[in-house]
Amino acid sequence: AQKVTQAQTEISVVEKEDVTLDCVYETRDTTYYLFWYKQPPSGELVFLIRRNSFDEQNEISGRYSWNFQKSTSSFNFTITASQVVDSAVYFCALSAKSGNQFYFGTGTSLTVIP
Amino acid sequence: DAGITQSPRHKVTETGTPVTLRCHQTENHRYMYWYRQDPGHGLRLIHYSYGVKDTDKGEVSDGYSVSRSKTEDFLLTLESATSSQTSVYFCAISELALEQYFGPGTRLTVT
């Protein structure tokens, strides 16, 4: 069975603080893919990143960085120097090679206070 | 941005009536998906399609049916809407069953 857990339901930070969003996944597949999506208050879902199970390199994109650790089944997302525009709900998702389905976590609502 | 549209964007309907939501893409992607989003549940897969006339059930398929008669259109039908189907419905597309790109969503209210 596949499962994604985002234990943090809501997080509030003050602008310019760093914040890490946690994502823990479960799968028995050896080949799988992990994703992060952003859902701003306007409601659309925006794809941020995909990570393959065979590539544990961390990724940085501007103020965003992702830490993938197979040993702890985690794929955490850090926003450095947060800004008000980062306020959104962030979803972590898992897709296993054995199927065509995505499994989403329940999301973390991030509020950045000016 | 991927070319995905959903119609209608908002709908209010009464319990027991049939409802059809449409997803249209201009990207010629093979895979199409229907999700519902509810507070505390994130996004849950209803049905998906891996080609014309090829569909399969997702996690929460009861009460829903789908059809895909051409690559660009994926229809979601609620045969007899119930209040528990009040939700925001998202369509998504994917070329290789990897990252998915989402439509703008349809807010459905069943009274």
Q: Do B105 and A91 touch (CB under 8 A)?
A: no
Q: Could you tell me if A91 lies within 8 Å of chain B, comparing CB atoms? A: yes
CA–CA gap between residue B34 and residue A45 (Å, rounded):
13
Q: Do B43 and A50 touch (CB under 8 A)?
A: no
The average pLDDT across B6-22 equals 97
Residue with tokens 């969503």: B105
CA–CA gap between residue A81 and residue B98 (Å, rounded):
30
Q: From chain B, pick out residues whose CB is under 8 angstroms from the CB of A105.
A: 42
> Considering only alpha carbons, which residue of chain B is nearest residue A2?
B59
Which tens digits make up the pLDDT trace of B71-100? Answer: 999 999 999 999 999 999 999 999 887 889
Q: What are the φ and ψ backbone dihedral angles of B80, each rounded to 5 degrees?
A: -150, 95
Angle in degrees, CA B63, B72, B59, rounded to 5: 30
Q: For position A99, what pLDDT does the model report?
A: 59
Q: Do B40 and A106 touch (CB under 8 A)?
A: yes
Q: Which residues contact A13 (CB under 8 A, 6 or more apart)?
A: A19, A82, A110, A111, A112, A113
Which tens digits make up the pLDDT trace of A63-84? Answer: 999 999 999 999 999 999 999 9
